[in-house]
Structure 1
Amino acid sequence: MEALRLAWVGGAPKLWTAEAMARQGLVTTVSSDAGTAAVVGWVGSVRDRVAGARGLLEDFGRPGAVPRLPIGDYAAVLVCRDRVLLVRDAQARIPLFFRESGGRVTAVSTSARCLGDIAELERRYFCRYLTGNMAQPHWELTPFVAVHRVLGGEVVELSITGEMHGRVMRRGRQAHEPSVPAADGPHFGGAAKDLRLALESAVRCRVGRMTACHVSGGTDSTSVALLAARQLAAGQGHLGELVLLAGRFGRGELAGEQPYLDEAMEAIRRHAPAARPMIVDVDDVADFDDFQHHAGDTDEPHAHAFRAPFWSRLHAAAAELGCDTLLTGCGADPIVDVNPFHLHRLARTAQLRRLAKQARAWAVGSERGLWDVVSAYVVQPALPLAAERVTALVHGRGTVLGGLGNFARPPWLRSEFARAHGYREASIAESRFVFGRTPEQSRYDAANYVAAPDPLSWNRAPQDGFVLSHPFLDPEVIATMRRLPADATFHPGRPKAVLREAMADLLPPGIRGRVVKVPFNELYARGLRTHGNELLDLCHSARHPLTAEMFNIDTLCQAVGEAQLGLGDAYAWDRLNSSLALVVWLERLDRRPPALGAAVPVIAGS
């Protein structure tokens, strides 16, 4: 989906922006003596996009300026008098790509598909994509030869005629610098206070004219909605409107979430009586509904396209009301929950007695075996590829999905393709990114890419008028949690203890005390029952030559059959889902991408 394009006409740079997205506020263009900036998304505050874009231009437009990146969810092209800058925020919500040839950039766009040649596909990219669902955002490669990704937090500098001058990573600046709290024992006083301040700031800058909050009845989404309600009720949102968006399941396991949803809605409306509940009946929704559309029309292969039907139903409801931002509780699990990889740090620093004590406490609190805990948080981070190979040998037992983890080659990926195009190297790179030299810190970096970028939200942005925003993944919230020692967050059997303490005055008792949510497994199982034969037909009828080059179709179909029977686990299903999405994406690759629409040319000041 193309929101802007930069090209050189007669040797001079020219910007085009999509008129429809500009009307919706998704693209903001400003000009000054420094030049012209086109910003997709928002900088600083959702409510004041023009001021944020102008500030970005002023900060980066000064010759020799090296400012920190401001907070926000944005991708920007700045055409200054003497140079061109391509900028993305560190969380990488909004995509940005450039086409390069011989050290010169010839075009820039938010769509890799619009820049690429479908006859020249980058096979190394597909190996990296298939290593796991976090592979895409932190690699420069794209599906197309000569088309490169601007990475999150990166500033790419070009000459005014397009020659590449440099690529640097910039640190982001935070809205305020919270103090470093001391560990307070079970009450988490200082830690909870700092998290509350950071989360309030993250919500405040994301509140728009009409803000929708996804409410599921869990601790995370309810916390975000409560903070938004409080700010709007106090006038901090400049009397903006609040919509409480939820999906209702009237049958099956997920119907058990309804009492929590009702309690959450009641608590939120006590703070903001004018908030509008928007309850969407989703009993008829299943994973893999309209899979060819959701998986095939995105700019890049979308590993989570199978879950798109549920989210698109909710997004459509928010769009009908005219919401200009939608907040979620996504990211809280890895960010504000206790970080179990501190066990790896204890092993690394030879604190074995403390390791044994905390591992036992963790095992009891999570109702797992001691060896399972040590294996997951000490052994696997140290030797991820070896641990997966052993697990596959032990648990495979002749099935396709058995023992298939994050990095090992899926059996349906042909070994000759994997060897020729660097699958093992991609697996090593991905495992190092996920675990890193210090897994307890890499957890926060990797967590961000579970939700960013969000291909479904981005692909639907022109029709919805908003892109999802995640307060828990705000740089300030992440920085606050990274500062905390393990003792300040570790409370066996009580997940997200610091968050519960931080929100103690707002969360209703039933939600504050719950520790388990009903997973979406039923939605997945129903989708496979309903669409299993369609998925098999899709694989057998695939005609793109790269599909047969990459995959053993019979083995892939066997994996679909095993998933229908409930074999495998979440890791194995993720690998299967991403492969099926890739098959669809390749089949629909020759479809013309959506046009820029009625574009507005923007000529930089000279």
Structure 2
Amino acid sequence: MEALRLEWAGGTLRLWIDEAMERQGLVTTVSSRAGAAAVVGWAGSVRDRVTGVRGLLDDFARQGSAPPLPAGDYAAVLVCRDRILMMRDEQARVPLFFRESGGRVRAVSTSARSLGSVTELERDYFCRYLTGNMAQQHWDITPFAEVHRVLGGEVVELSLTGRMRSRVLRGGRHYDSPVATADGARPHLREAAKDLRLVLEHAVGRRMGTLTACHVSGGTDSTSVALLAARLLAAGRVSAGELLLLSGRFSGGELAGERPYLDAALEEISRQTPMARPVIVDADDVTDFDDFQHHAGDADEPYAHAFRAPFWARLHAAAAELGCDTLLTGCGADPVVDANPFHLHRLARTGRLRQLTKQARAWAACSERGSRDIFHAYVVQPALPLATERITALARSGTVLGGLGNFNRPRWLRSGFARTHGYRSASIAESRFVFGRKPEQSLYDAANYLAAPDPLSWHRARLDGFFLSHPFLDPEVVAMMRRLPVDATFHASRPKEVLREAMADLLPARIRGRAVKIPFNDLYVRGLRRHCDELIDLCRSARHPLIAEMFDVETLCQAVREAQLGTGDAYACDRVNSSLALVMWLERLDERSSALSPAVPVIAGS
């Protein structure tokens, strides 16, 4: 989807924006003596987008200035008097790309597809894509040759003629390493909970619009966000608006067990704010992989989580029909506000083996796993991720999916293609991103690109009139949690203790005391049962030449069948899902058009 486009035509600089998205408030433009700016999304606050864009232009237009990036969900193009700046916020929810050749940028857009050519695909990208399920937002490379991504938290500076001057990551922040207190001491919990409540309220308040929807599932995370939004609205701390409580309801299957928690959450939120309006969406007929050709095939890039899009699309449609202008979720809370298990890796690195053994046993007790499994997952694997996976694959090599983890080459990816286009180096790069030299810090960066189904939100934005937004992934919330000592965040059998303490006066007792939430496995199992034969037929009938060059289609079909039968773990199924999404994306590549129409000029000359 092309929300804006910057290009040089006949020596003239032109900046265009999508007219419909500007009317919806999804694109905001300002002009001043300093220059002109177009922002897709919002910077600073959803409710005052113009002020946020004006502040962004004023701060960055000053000669020699290097201000920090403001909070928000945005991609921005600033045309100043002496240079052009492209930037994205740290969360990187709104895409931004540029086409470069010979050290000069030829065009800029929110759509990689509109900048690239379907006949000039970057094959190395597909090896990067297939290394795991992190999605592709943290890589510069795109599916199209000469088309590059502006990274999250990055500021790219160009001359007025498009010459590349610099690319600087300003989003990365430095945090103090957490320090453990003495054994048995827990003096930080109350203070940590107070701080979390404050920064989470700010994150929710910044994201509230005129008609805000909150996804409520009955879990601790989404209920906390909705309760804070309701309290802010009831207390008048955000200007008058409406609040929708958006929920998917299941009357059968495993997910029907969430109904009591959902009812308790809606009752408490409505008690806090009677003006909150529940919107219940019946989802019994929804399964994963419904209309997979559309959800996977029409995206701007391959969309690894397209299999889950039908459920979210059903909820999006309900919110859009009621005129929602922002939708808040609880995505990201699991890795951000829960205790960080990779603290065990830090204990091993620093030689504190007695503490390591004690805490690994406590972690095992609260997660119903053995201490050996905990040690393997959070100490051994981060230290030697590729070697660990190879050993696991050898031990479980009886099926196509046996032993297939995050980085091993799937058997259906042809070895010649993988060797030619750098699958091994891509696996090494991805493992370093996921674990890094300090896995307890890399966890947050990886979680940002895994926690939320944002490509669907972006793809549907023009239709829906809003983006998804995730308060738990707000930079202030992440920064605050990263500073906490482990003693303040970990408690055996009580996950997310800081969040529970922070919300103790608001969360219903039924939700505050629950430790386990029912996963969406039922949707996946039913989806594969319903669509397995259809997915296999789609793979076998695919005609794009790169599919046969890249995949052994029959082996992929066997993997799909094994996933249907329940063979393989969650990692292996993720590899199948992303491969299927890539097949559908390639097969429909020639059918899509990304023309910017109708559009209005922001700058039509230079």
What TM-score comes out, normalization by structure 2 length? Answer: 0.97
1:246 match: secondary structure? strand
Letter in 1 for 2:194: K
Instruction: Give the stretch that moved more between structures: 374-383 or 594-603.
Output: 594-603
List alignment gaps of at least 5 residues for structure 1: none
Structure-2 residue corresponding to 1:242: 243
Structure-2 residue corresponding to 1:159: 159
Pair 347,95 (structure 1): closer, same or farther in 2 beyond 3 Å: same
Letter in 1 for 2:405: G
Residue 158 of structure 2 contacts residue 164 of structure 2 at CA under 8 Å; is this kept in 1?
yes
Structure-1 residue corresponding to 2:69: 69
Query: Quick one: distance in 1 between partners of 2:395 and 2:487?
Result: 35
Query: Quick one: distance in 2 between partners of 1:286 and 1:351?
Result: 47
Structure-2 residue corresponding to 1:441: 441
Deviation at 1:9, TM superposition (A): 2.4
Tell me, yes or no, if structure 1 residue 393 matches structure 2 residue 399. Answer: no
2:207 match: secondary structure? coil
Structure-1 residue corresponding to 2:337: 336
Query: Quick one: distance in 1 between partners of 2:584 and 2:347?
Result: 45
Residue 45 of structure 1 contacts residue 72 of structure 1 at CA under 8 Å; is this kept in 2?
yes
Structure-2 residue corresponding to 1:316: 317
Structure-2 residue corresponding to 1:581: 581
Query: Quick one: distance in 2 between partners of 1:393 and 1:336?
Result: 36
Query: Quick one: distance in 1 between partners of 2:417 and 2:171?
Result: 38
Structure-2 residue corresponding to 1:374: 375
Query: Quick one: distance in 2 between partners of 1:82 and 1:604?
Result: 17
Number of aligned residues: 602
Pair 564,371 (structure 1): closer, same or farther in 2 beyond 3 Å: same
Letter in 1 for 2:40: V
Pair 530,452 (structure 1): closer, same or farther in 2 beyond 3 Å: closer
Tell me, yes or no, if structure 1 residue 464 matches structure 2 residue 464. Answer: yes
Structure-1 residue corresponding to 2:143: 143
Deviation at 1:271, TM superposition (A): 1.0
Pair 352,40 (structure 1): closer, same or farther in 2 beyond 3 Å: same
Structure-2 residue corresponding to 1:55: 55
Residue 34 of structure 2 contacts residue 57 of structure 2 at CA under 8 Å; is this kept in 1?
yes
Pair 309,452 (structure 1): closer, same or farther in 2 beyond 3 Å: closer
1:224-235 aligned at under 5 Å gives the runs 224-235=225-236
Residue 260 of structure 1 contacts residue 511 of structure 1 at CA under 8 Å; is this kept in 2?
yes
2:248 match: secondary structure? strand
1:267-346 aligned at under 5 Å gives the runs 267-346=268-347
Question: After superposition, what is the alpha-carbon deviation per residue over 1:35-94, rounded to whole angstroms, capped at 9, x for unaligned?
Answer: 000000000000000000000000011111111100000000001111110011111010
Instruction: Give the stretch that moved more between structures: 593-602 or 159-168.
Output: 593-602
Question: After superposition, what is the alpha-carbon deviation per residue over 1:523-565, rounded to whole angstroms, capped at 9, x for unaligned?
Answer: 0011111111100100100100000011001100000110111
Query: Quick one: distance in 1 between partners of 2:427 and 2:415?
Result: 14
Pair 192,352 (structure 1): closer, same or farther in 2 beyond 3 Å: same
Query: Quick one: distance in 2 between partners of 1:266 and 1:187?
Result: 32
Query: Quick one: distance in 2 between partners of 1:267 and 1:185?
Result: 30
Query: Quick one: distance in 1 between partners of 2:230 and 2:201?
Result: 11
Pair 425,355 (structure 1): closer, same or farther in 2 beyond 3 Å: same
Residue 187 of structure 1 contacts residue 501 of structure 1 at CA under 8 Å; is this kept in 2?
no
Letter in 2 for 1:82: D
Pair 575,52 (structure 1): closer, same or farther in 2 beyond 3 Å: same
Letter in 2 for 1:213: C
Structure-1 residue corresponding to 2:527: 527
Question: After superposition, what is the alpha-carbon deviation per residue over 1:148-188, rounded to whole angstroms, capped at 9, x for unaligned?
Answer: 000001111000011111101113799xx99x999661771
Residue 69 of structure 1 contacts residue 173 of structure 1 at CA under 8 Å; is this kept in 2?
no
Letter in 2 for 1:303: A
Tell me, yes or no, if structure 1 residue 423 matches structure 2 residue 423. Answer: yes
Residue 180 of structure 2 contacts residue 487 of structure 2 at CA under 8 Å; is this kept in 1?
no
1:516-595 aligned at under 5 Å gives the runs 516-595=516-595
Residue 180 of structure 2 contacts residue 486 of structure 2 at CA under 8 Å; is this kept in 1?
no
Query: Quick one: distance in 2 between partners of 1:235 and 1:14?
Result: 43
Deviation at 1:594, TM superposition (A): 3.7
Deviation at 1:288, TM superposition (A): 0.4
Deviation at 1:10, TM superposition (A): 2.8
Residue 207 of structure 2 contacts residue 469 of structure 2 at CA under 8 Å; is this kept in 1?
yes
Structure-1 residue corresponding to 2:112: 112
1:74-153 aligned at under 5 Å gives the runs 74-153=74-153
1:597 match: secondary structure? coil
Query: Quick one: distance in 1 between partners of 2:98 and 2:192?
Result: 42
Query: Quick one: distance in 2 between partners of 1:181 and 1:544?
Result: 54
Tell me, yes or no, if structure 1 residue 29 matches structure 2 residue 29. Answer: yes
Tell me, yes or no, if structure 1 residue 350 matches structure 2 residue 374. Answer: no
Letter in 1 for 2:34: A
Query: Quick one: distance in 1 between partners of 2:297 and 2:285?
Result: 22
Query: Quick one: distance in 2 between partners of 1:182 and 1:549?
Result: 52
Query: Quick one: distance in 1 between partners of 2:541 and 2:108?
Result: 35
Residue 19 of structure 1 contacts residue 599 of structure 1 at CA under 8 Å; is this kept in 2?
yes
Question: After superposition, what is the alpha-carbon deviation per residue over 1:465-507, rounded to whole angstroms, capped at 9, x for unaligned?
Answer: 0010000000000000000011111111111011100110100
Structure-1 residue corresponding to 2:169: 169
Query: Quick one: distance in 2 between partners of 1:347 and 1:220?
Result: 31
2:40 match: secondary structure? strand
List alignment gaps of at least 5 residues for structure 2: none
Runs of 4+ in structure 1 deviating by more than 3 angstroms, as ranges, are 171-174, 180-184
Pair 172,436 (structure 1): closer, same or farther in 2 beyond 3 Å: closer
Letter in 2 for 1:585: W
Tell me, yes or no, if structure 1 residue 197 matches structure 2 residue 209. Answer: no
Query: Quick one: distance in 1 between partners of 2:172 and 2:465?
Result: 26
Query: Quick one: distance in 1 between partners of 2:172 and 2:235?
Result: 29
2:78 match: secondary structure? strand
Deviation at 1:603, TM superposition (A): 1.4
Residue 128 of structure 1 contacts residue 135 of structure 1 at CA under 8 Å; is this kept in 2?
no
Query: What is the aligned-residue RMSD (CA, Å)?
Result: 1.6
Question: After superposition, what is the alpha-carbon deviation per residue over 1:301-328, rounded to whole angstroms, capped at 9, x for unaligned?
Answer: 0000000000000000000000000000
What TM-score comes out, normalization by structure 1 length? Answer: 0.97
1:46 match: secondary structure? coil
Structure-1 residue corresponding to 2:503: 503
